[in-house]
Amino acid sequence: MTITIALPSKGRMKDDASAIFEKAGLKIVAVGNERSYRGRVEGLDNVEIAFLSASEISREIGSGSIDFGVTGEDLIREGLSEADARVEFCARLGFGHADVVVAVPEIWLDVDTMADLGDVAADFRARHGRRLAIATKYWRLTQQFFSAKHGIQLYRIVESLGATEGAPASGSADIIVDITSTGSTLKANHLKILSDGVMLRSQACLVRARKAEHAGDPLVAKIIEAVSGVC
Amino acid sequence: MPLINLPAFAADLLADFERLGTLRVDTPVIQPAEPFLDMAGEDLRRRIFMTESETGKSLCLRPEFTIPVCLRHIETATGTPQRYSYLGEIFRQRREGANEFYQAGIEDLGETDVASADARAIGDAIAILSARLPGRKLNVTLGDQSVFEAVVAACGLPAGWQKRLIHAFGNSAQIDALLTRLSSPQPVTGLSVEIEALLSSGDDATLIAHLDETMEATGYSTNASRSPKEIAERLKEKRALEKTALDGRTLGVLREFLSLNIPLAEAPAALFAFAEKSGLTLDGALSRFDARVAALGNAGVDAKALTYRAAFGRPLDYYTGLVFEIVIEGSSAVLAGGGRFDRLMTLLGAKERIPAVGFALWLDRMEQALAQPKGEAAQ
């Protein structure tokens, strides 16, 4: 059986992923020229490498059309319902760190916790004639965190596909849910992270689609063992 | 559109609705999604079927009837009181069971005699289920948010706490967590020296002006979202309460109330005894509660068959008073669910307050119950 591993197709994520695989004794070589979107592992004939964008990797691993993928935990958990039942997080790779956080304007001096935010959300409609608006691209994670974990139901999500941090100042939303690695962009936009507002500490992971045919496959076991051994 | 998959008892059900003097209405299957998400919250998004029109408007397949029936009432400027009935398909993403199924129900809009309207809704739901599911023993559970609101108010809790408790009512995990949190002081920390000074000076105007200036300076509009005044007020409230904790006695009173689970016939006396023992004045709420129990008696509903569970509610802000659920004894499948939603009509755009109470029947579960031999509860 051929095993397909999807790796990020560009940027730091691509370089870091290749470095980890090489360290694990799975040196990746491109098929054809340097910019090819296909590759293979030196010395392993039945492994194929596909270079895909990080969000594509999450989708393809969910549909099971690839066996392994390297992508951010945030994208997997946002992209797939019941992620843990569908994929296995085999190894956390130690790069691509980013936290998914709830951030509110710094000037909201009275709001430090999700409980505070729940209070504000409960009252919002009566005061402003509309629900509290959250700008984010993380629909699923936001719903799980607000509704299931903190019992906050009364808010609306405003889809934001870029420059989410600017939404509160521009007036298109009241607060945001976004990723941050250093917090500097949040600070520049006068936003603060709630004390219990870290929804997910994400990093690049090796994930496996849970497929029945993987059971007892020595190649699958070898890949997991080799990569986890160097993280 | 002739439907051939209707439950066998649908015609009888429609006859029941007609006999009860309701006006049957239909609403489009494709609905604007906004009102549902606005009323029930974003969590609904993953449980409904959404799509978009070519112009980008969010649409969904009708997930329930109450909101469409109420919107129709507002749009057609129909006078009140008015009792509507409906029977049709609704669409929801469910882990188990079909994604499209039938629901029927009654919405009673504008009846100002609240006790009678509540009693009639419960009575109608019981009568219809008894007629369509002969020989099954029905269990009716009833709750009332307004009694909890009265208890919380009578305990003399700070206004902010009252709001939080009422908001969490109906979600037992949430209310437990909240009671625990309120039982220890919540200090306000992390404020700058400048804000601390303004806060302790008691000079509200200067504090608000300072917040206003900071927002202007950092590019935040002072009226698009929370205003400087709103932030200052809530900050002051937090500061005033930071050394306060829910005392053990009040906590005990609240927990005792929330644990009440008794036959409805005994509830008026039990609530009276609870109020006396706890030293709470609940007169208004208790007399309204008693009036409903009396109205149930007048409507021929046997209060002995009903259970009052004090903690039973729905954590949605438009439910205001009565809620009820009906199951077959020994089963957990809710066949009918209803309640009072006096706040919904104005939230949906009605010019004046229209009291409203209604219930929905889950026809697929009724069919399943019919398929089970009598006396053997469906699981």
Ranges of each domain in chain A: 3-96+203-228, 98-201
| Cβ pairs A/B, distance under 8 A | 98
State ipTM.
0.86
* Percent of chain B whose predicted confidence (pLDDT) is above 70: 98
| Cα-only R_g, chain B | 24
Residues of chain A neighbouring B349 (CB-CB closer than 8 A): none
Contact A81 B347 (CB under 8 A): no
Question: Does the pLDDT of residue B377 top 60, yes or no?
Answer: no
Residue B3 has a pLDDT of: 64
For A98-201, give the CATH class.
alpha beta
Residue A139 has a pLDDT of: 92
Pick B230's closest partner by Cβ from A127, A139, A169: A127
Interface of B with A (CB under 8 A): 37-38, 40-43, 45-46, 160, 163-164, 167-168, 171, 173-174, 177-178, 181, 189-191, 195, 211, 214-215, 218-221, 224-226, 228, 230-231, 234-235, 237-238, 315-317, 347
Q: Write the DSSP string, B128-173.
A: HHHHHSTTPPEEEEEEEHHHHHHHHHHTT--HHHHHHHHHHTT-HH
Contact B46 A119 (CB under 8 A): no
Contact B171 A151 (CB under 8 A): yes
Distance CA A170, CA A158 (A): 13
Question: Does the pLDDT of residue B304 top 60, yes or no?
Answer: yes
Interface of A with B (CB under 8 A): 81, 105-110, 112, 115-116, 118-120, 122-123, 125, 127-128, 131, 139-140, 142-143, 146-148, 151, 153-157, 168-169, 171, 174, 190
Contact B219 A157 (CB under 8 A): no
CATH architecture of A3-96+203-228: 3-Layer(aba) Sandwich (3.40)
Tokens of B330: 């020994």
Ranges of each domain in chain B: 10-137+329-371, 146-184+247-320, 193-241
pLDDT confidence bin for B190, thresholds 50/70/90: confident
Interface test with A, best of B167, B171, B174, B175 (most A CBs within 10 A): B167
A15-67 pLDDT, tens digit each: 999 999 999 999 998 887 767 788 899 888 899 999 999 889 999 999 999 99
Residues of chain B neighbouring A190 (CB-CB closer than 8 A): 218-220
List of residues 6+ apart from B121 with CB closer than 8 A = B106, B108, B322, B324, B338, B357, B358, B359
Q: What are phi and psi of B230, to 5 degrees?
A: -60, -45
- Provide the total of helices (H) and of strands (E) in chain B, helices listed first: 15, 12
> CATH topology for B10-137+329-371?
BirA Bifunctional Protein; domain 2 (3.30.930)
Distance CA B102, CA A62 (A): 32
Question: Does the pLDDT of residue B1 top 70, yes or no?
Answer: no
B242-266 pLDDT, tens digit each: 888 889 999 999 999 999 999 999 9
Average pLDDT over residues B355-372: 94
B12-30 pLDDT, tens digit each: 999 999 999 999 999 999 9
List of residues 6+ apart from B130 with CB closer than 8 A = B136, B138
Pick A108's closest partner by Cβ from B41, B181, B226: B226
Average pLDDT over residues B34-42: 90
Question: Does the pLDDT of residue B42 top 70, yes or no?
Answer: yes
Calculate helix-pair angle for A114-128, B228-241, nearest 10 degrees.
Answer: 140
Calculate helix-pair angle for B248-258, B267-278, nearest 10 degrees.
Answer: 180
pTM comes to: 0.87
Three-state secondary-structure class, residue A107: coil
DSSP B255: H
Contact B42 A156 (CB under 8 A): yes
Q: Which of A58-62, B62-66, B186-190, B202-206 shows the lowest per-residue confidence on average (mean pLDDT)?
A: B186-190
Residues (pLDDT < 70) of chain A are 34
Question: Does the pLDDT of residue B374 top 70, yes or no?
Answer: no
Tokens of B48: 């409904």
Q: Which residues pair with B361 in a beta bridge?
A: B104, B336
B83-96 pLDDT, tens digit each: 999 999 999 998 77
B309-354 pLDDT, tens digit each: 999 998 787 888 999 999 999 999 999 999 999 999 999 999 999 9
* Percent of chain B whose predicted confidence (pLDDT) is above 90: 74
Phi-psi region of B86 (alpha: psi -120 to 50; beta: other; left: phi over 0): beta
Distance CA B289, CA B2 (A): 44
Distance CA A154, CA A135 (A): 14
